[in-house]
Structure 1
Amino acid sequence: MTEFPANLDPKLIERLVTTQGGQLTQKMGIVFEKLTAEESIATMPVEGNRQVIGLLHGGAHVVLGESLGSLSAAIHAGPGRIAVGIEINASHSKSVTEGLVHGHCRALSLGRTLATHEIVMTDDSGRRLSTVRMTNFLRDMPQE
């Protein structure tokens, strides 16, 4: 069950619950445990996300990182605003072939127009697999 901050925009909660974080998040098997602007946590199975030689695909690390960083930034942006990713990078340290990947997102900077987060992915033993850093531009939601 996902832990949400008390002041989270009800519309964002509704979108998160009804879409389970979006189509790609569902396909990847990502499960959110905690979502706040300052810190977010999720897991992703290695099974179903491997590349051709059996290792977890490097892009899967980035998907997990961007999912956490984008949602944390959207929470920080607040009601009526959105977060749009403008930069992301990843450094892969170790490979993994089974189990769960644990993503732990922490805010580095939370401003009025920019939010930067660092997301560390670890294996079931707590060994660092990769580090992702993401910056989001925060803006008003477009009018429909």
Structure 2
Amino acid sequence: MKQPMDRIMADLPPELAAEQLVNRLGIKITEWSRERVVGTMPVAGNRQPFGLLHGGASAALAETLGSLAAAAYVAPDGMLVGLELNCTHHRAARDGLVTGVCEPLHEGAQIGTYQVTITNDRDQLVCSARLTCLLRKGRNTGGR
């Protein structure tokens, strides 16, 4: 079965699919529904100079999961843009995988807010994040 991101990437021109941040960070989506989006990311390759998981990588994982949750809400022909991302880094991750779990806090006519918790292999909280998106159901303008 194809990963949800693989289905999205299949709709992109090959040159754009190859340069997507989710590929560079090694993000894998393991669950995707309106109620919950789950994904993993390796620490290796996503470290800062002190050998710890880079906070920006955690933020990218959080924004990816939140955006997918918002996409599920506005599907099939809506669009979304991120408005605000807030991340609190609770502890370092040094190795293995981190897992992000995203659930909606609010999904309205124009605004969606999503809570993301990122944990390490020992199920310890690494980062908590909140993403707010502008939502447009049924108004996909195709980038225009």
TM-score per shorter chain, which class?
Answer: 0.7 to 0.9
- DSSP 3-state at the match of 1:53: coil
Deviation, 1:38, is 1.7
Name 1:57's counterpart in structure 2: 54
For the Cα contact (< 8 Å) 1:92–1:131, is it kept in 2?
Answer: yes
Matched residues, number = 137
CA drift at 1:15: 2.0
Residues 1-144 of structure 1: pairs in structure 2 closer than 5 A: 14-17=7-10, 23-139=20-136, 140-143=139-142
Give the aligned residue type for 1:88. Answer: L
1:32-54 CA distance string (max 9 Å, x none): 01111221000000000000110
1:101–1:123: 8 Å Cα contact kept in structure 2?
Answer: yes
**d(CA) in 1 for partners of 2:99 and 2:35?**
17
Which consecutive unaligned segments of at least 5 residues does structure 2 have? none
Q: Distance in 2 between matches of 1:41 and 1:128?
A: 15
Give the TM-score, by structure 1 length: 0.86
| Structure 1: 5+ residue stretches without partners | 5-11
Question: Matches of 2:18 and 2:132 in 1, distance apart?
Answer: 19
RMSD, matched Cα: 2.2
Deviations 1:52-107 (A, max 9, x none): 11000000000000000001101101222111100110000000110000000011
Percent identity of paired positions between Structure 1 and Structure 2: 36
